[in-house]
Chain A
Amino acid sequence: MTQRTATPALPLGDDALILSHRLGEWAGNAPVLEEEVALANIALDLLGQARVLLSLAGDEDELAYLREERQFRNLQLVEQPNGDFAHTIARQLYFSTYQELLYAHLATGDGELAPLAAKAVKEVAYHRDHAEQWTLRLGDGTDESHTRMQRALDALWRFTGELFEPVEGLDTVPWPALYDRWTARITAILERATLSVPEGPQRGAWTAGGGRQGLHTEPFGRLLAEMQHLHRSHPGATW
């Protein structure tokens, strides 16, 4: 099986696959039925994107189920555990804002990712809207929800620097401009939600970095074990 590990479809497909898996972990555990359905729908959109992207890079099943941890190129942000609902919303806010800006840019080009980006950017706009609505409700809600939303935003902040490190093969993306637009959007929504933009480093040797090079955080191994277990135990299993 030929795999094109150099294509940018691999890191972007891994982002979608791993976040989809994390969101799927909410099935049966979400705080209200509507959120159960919402998070599963968002996970399904991301899984659809992952299938298209990984198929551009090789065989989707082999890539998802038979790679080792160091071969995955996803951002460390998307592999972070769900935490409480606020952590999941903070992760969704940071990531979907980034993904929407990135896909909107890729959709305007004529690269191999353009058709998928043009299609998916409309779905991701709903994901971002969902995260923003919850950020507003939790931030500008009770003292308890405000405290927990701020805690979640602060905890995941150190994984946001990696979002803007250039991805090999995406040479036309203006990363610093993307970072500025992302920061402006996040700042605006956090201000409306009466929350503070976290302080502290977003990048550097002592913070996040390395998911794109295959360096992952400790919870990722357990995620992979669960995701790959069935396929590895029963090769070729089908429904």
Chain B
Amino acid sequence: MVTPTALEAELLALAGSVPDPELPVLTLAELGVLRGVRLTAPDRVEVRLTPTYTGCPAIEAMSADIERVLHDHGIPEVEVRTVLSPPWTTDAITDEGRRKLTEFGIAPPRPTAPAGGPVAVDLTIRCPHCGSTDTTLLSRFSSTACKALRRCESCREPFDHFKEL
């Protein structure tokens, strides 16, 4: 592992400040999908990005947004590479990211089970609107691949839950 230069650290922070195209309250850094920025030539950088889900269509918009931000910062050549390994997990979402998800009305993911696979659903998921823990699963799949649909039994509002991966 080579220590990033000051410029690389600056470019990483810039790329990390790009909002997620599906969940614009979160930045890519908070989502934990940026794997690194490397200067491969004086005017050329390589950005490594990992998808949340293999088929996540947002990855193309993320790449385009990163390219634009770094171009605007004076980097003529930007190559965004998609890497799969090690696989992204919801544990990569930062604490600040989790706080923002709740504020946005999405219940954040719980910590994943060490053995992999879906975690037991009996752990409490709190309603992002009223804070009640009395919530039930409506559907394991929701508006995007990364979310499940739940309903709060106290305030009766449906809400998305960023499901554990």
A100's closest neighbor in chain B, by CB?
Answer: B117
Q: A116-B84, A119-B87 in contact; A48/B140 too (CB < 8 A)?
A: no
The answer to whether B141 and A52 have CB atoms under 8 Å apart is no
Which residue of B has the minimal Cβ distance to A116? B84
Per the bound structure, the CA–CA distance linking A125 and B141 in Å amounts to: 13
Complex interface: chain B residues within 8 A of A118 (CB): 84-87
Write the nearest CB–CB distance from A217 to chain B, whole angstroms. 26
The reply to whether B139 and A49 form a contact with Cβ atoms under 8 Å apart is no
- Interchain CA distance A40-B139 in the complex, whole Å: 13
A41 within 8 A of B: yes
Does A25 interact with chain B (Cβ within 8 Å)?
Answer: no
Contact string, A125-157, partner B, CB cutoff 8 A, digits 1/0?
110011001000000000000000000000000
Is A34 a contact partner of B118 (Cβ separation < 8 A)?
no
Interface readout for A27-40 with B: 1 if CB under 8 Å, 0 if not?
A: 00000001001101
Cβ < 8 Å to A, chain B residues 38-83: 51, 53-57, 83
Residue B11 is within 8 A (CB to CB) of chain A in the complex: no
Chain B interface (Cβ < 8 Å from any Cβ of A): 51, 53-57, 83-89, 116-118, 138-145, 149, 163, 165
A76 to B125, CA, bound (A): 40
Does A45 have its Cβ within 8 Å of any Cβ on chain B?
yes
A44 touches B55 (CB 8 A): yes
Given A115-B84, A119-B87, A122-B165, also A37-B118 (CB < 8 A): no
* A42→B141 CA distance, assembly (Å): 9
B141→A38 contact, CB < 8 A: yes
- The answer for the CA separation of A48 and B88 in the assembled complex, in Å, is 15
CA distance A52 to B141 in the complex (A): 22
* Residues 86-129 of chain A, each 1 if its beta carbon lies under 8 Å from chain B, else 0: 00000000000000000000000000001110111111011001
Chain A residues whose C-beta falls within 8 Å of the C-beta of B89 in the assembled complex: 122
Shortest CB distance A45–B (Å): 5
Closest residue of chain A to B139 (Cβ to Cβ) is: A34
Shortest C-beta distance, A75 to chain B (Å), equals: 19
Given contacts A47-B55, A49-B55, A116-B54, 15 further A-B contacts (CB under 8 A): A38-B139, A38-B140, A42-B141, A44-B53, A46-B55, A49-B54, A115-B85, A116-B84, A119-B51, A119-B54, A123-B53, A123-B145, A125-B117, A130-B141, A133-B140
